[in-house]
Amino acid sequence: MFKSHRRRIVVHIFLLPITFAMHTRFRNVLFAFAFATLAAPACALNILLVNDDGLTGNIEAQYEALVAAGHDVVVSVPCQNQSGKGGAINFLEPLWALTGACRGGAAEVGAPGAGKVTGKANYWYVDGTPVMATAYGLDIVARKRWGMPPDLVVSGPNEGQNLGPLVNMSGTVSNAQYAASLGLSAIAISADTNMNDNPALEAEAAKLTVKLIDTLKRKSTGGRLLPNGVALNVNYPKFTEGQSGGLKWSLSRHGTYSKIGLKFVEDMSQAGAGKVTLPGLVFTRNTEPPAKQQAGDEAAVIAAGKISVTAMQVGFDANVKTQRWLGHELGGLLEQGAR
């Protein structure tokens, strides 16, 4: 398991013999340099930026915003859009040369199955699932860049929100869960689809992420950003240009409320999914408002026009109370197994 490492900077100041006339000016310059040297690395984080959509304007805007905030950032994305792949991976399958070009011109036909994005420093791609791209970023890119795991893994912003019951299918959320399972601080970020291919909105969403990280950083007092075993699922509501600064942040939970559902149908054309008359999985719409007890659910918070912030545990363990209940229910069986 990875352990989070933070860079430690030691500044050695040697006071050389100087004349009295030079003393004040030299001292001011010297201490200004010392404090600048200490301040910049203390604020900077090593960040691995990933997603499940491939090379998009969203992730490029996020990269630019994080770098502008002083962070050292590397990007690792899947070659193609891999939305809905969840935590899927391809075991023991070599990555052959590409037979098709990657999204966004990340790589052309014939390029290696994993490598540097064409014409972009600090960007890499993987011809695989989102979690495979995250693993490549952690095991290959980060180790070559920093010689250790990143301080933070940011997954997204996704092209569309990841809310409630659907988060288990999200590659964006699975990236964060995978990183957190290795003991790293990780945040999944998703936004409304109206942001896609809109540079102004992409830039605003990216600044919201920087604001969130800055807040966590100030509270961390030099330690890790999130407790071990905890990741965040953050969703931005639909907003128009210039509105993001007025958005309110709200704690939430995955919950049960959702405006979107999934349904397997025998004829996709009858479900409004084009003209294909074959069976398949389609989206359904829920027009019912959330119940009172669902007010804190992610989808309800987003419907209210607020930013939802959910603390996620790693894995699927139930709480202590539920585990005790299960122990009571299976008491006899568990005792038999112990003999």
What are the tokens at 80?
């193609």
What are the tokens at 214?
């800055």
Element (H, E) at 159: strand 152-159
Catalytic residue, chosen from 190, 244, 258, 308, is: 190
Residue with tokens 């990007």: 75
Dist CA 205 CA 171 (whole Å):
19
Whether 190 is catalytic is: yes
Element (H, E) at 158: strand 152-159
Residue with tokens 């999204």: 103
Neighbours of 332 (CB within 10 A): 8
Spell out the residues 6+ positions from residue 52 whose beta carbon is closer than 8 angstroms to its own: 78, 81, 82, 83, 85, 130, 155, 158, 170, 171, 172, 174, 175
Dist CA 194 CA 238 (whole Å):
7
Environment class of 256 (CB within 10 Å of its CB; exposed 0-12, middle 13-18, buried 19+): middle
Dist CA 307 CA 273 (whole Å):
30
Query: What residue type is 162 in one-letter code?
Result: N
Environment class of 280 (CB within 10 Å of its CB; exposed 0-12, middle 13-18, buried 19+): middle
Spell out the residues 6+ positions from residue 137 whose beta carbon is closer than 8 angstroms to its own: 48, 50, 74, 75, 76, 124, 153
Identify whether the C-beta of residue 152 lies closer than 8 Å to the C-beta of residue 230. no
Neighbours of 313 (CB within 10 A): 13
**Active site positions, annotated:** 190
